[in-house]
Amino acid sequence: MPTVEERIETLESILGQFIVHTDVALRRLENEMKAFKDEMKAFKDEMKAFKDETREENKKRNREWSNLAKKMGTLVEDLIAPALRPVLSKHFKCEVTMEGQRMFRRKSGEDYEIDAIAACDNKVFMIEVRSTPRFDDVKEIAEKKDRFFDFFPEHKGKELIVIFGSITFPDNVSQHASRSGVYVMGWREWEYMDILNFDEVKTK
């Protein structure tokens, strides 16, 4: 029969082997976890590179599309109109009930035309579009606003909001528009059409 000392030695030997095996297993697990983390990091880096590349391709396509629309004179139809409903919903909580493009009215021998119009229950939007926005355009559009209800009396009683649309805006034009209470709508970093000076006009 083994003595106590022999039993202790046997247990110590078994325990030692267990510790060794456990240590080996832990090291293997640590190495596998490190390899997994490295693979995940590489995957995330690849996904980021792919997203960045896709974003740049989209920006390039938007630039080319905008330049083509500018040459063809279809900025209203190709850029402004498709973005109008989501933009008005986002910034003005407006569910559009009517909209139109190239709206023409004549009254007492005077012609009045706006590039686009949209309305919801309590707001109506006058949208003027220029291929190359200039400083003086802001004054012209603001003056045009004063006669809007004369030619569109069916919208009297609604808040009239003026939007100046284009591809991009020089800073001085955007700032002048903000001071005049005119929103500007164009590409935001060539990714999507948006109101570019919403906060500036809203807090005016």
Q: What is the CATH number of the domain that holds 189?
A: 3.40.1350.10
Q: Are residues 112 and 138 in the same domain?
A: yes
Q: What percentage of the chain carries pLDDT values higher than 90?
A: 51
Supply the range of the domain harboring residue 30.
Answer: 1-72
Residue 156 DSSP one-character state: T
Q: Are residues 78 and 35 in the same domain?
A: no
Q: State the pLDDT at residue 93.
A: 92
Pairing of strands 110-119, 98-107: antiparallel
Please answer whether residues 118 and 98 qualify as being in contact, where contact means their C-beta atoms are separated by less than 8 angstroms.
Answer: yes
**Considering 50, 72, 94, which residue would you say is the last residue of a domain?**
72
CA dist 173 and 125 (Å) reads 20
Q: State the pLDDT at residue 2.
A: 62
* Number of domains observed in the structure of the chain: 2
pLDDT tens per residue, range 130-184: 989 999 999 999 999 999 999 999 999 999 999 999 999 999 999 999 999 999 9
Q: How confident is the model at residue 1 (pLDDT cuts 50, 70, 90)?
A: low
**Considering 51, 72, 93, which residue would you say is the last residue of a domain?**
72
- Taking residues 16-34, report their average pLDDT: 78
Q: Are residues 92 and 48 in the same domain?
A: no
Q: State the pLDDT at residue 123.
A: 96
Q: Which residue, among 102, 96, 112, 115, has the nearest Cα to 185 in the 3D structure?
A: 115
Q: How confident is the model at residue 112 (pLDDT cuts 50, 70, 90)?
A: very high
The helix or strand, by DSSP H or E, that contains position 184, with its residue range, turns out to be strand 183-188
Q: Where are the beta strands (DSSP E) in 2-158?
A: 98-107, 110-119, 123-129
pLDDT tens per residue, range 4-23: 666 666 766 777 777 777 77
Q: Are residues 81 and 136 in the same domain?
A: yes
Q: Are residues 46 and 84 in the same domain?
A: no
Q: Are residues 184 and 148 in the same domain?
A: yes
Q: Are residues 40 and 105 in the same domain?
A: no
Q: State the pLDDT at residue 57.
A: 77
Q: Are residues 40 and 108 in the same domain?
A: no
**Considering 40, 72, 104, which residue would you say is the last residue of a domain?**
72
Q: Are residues 148 and 125 in the same domain?
A: yes
Mean pLDDT of the chain: 85
Q: Are residues 58 and 83 in the same domain?
A: no
Both structure tokens of 57: 């391709």
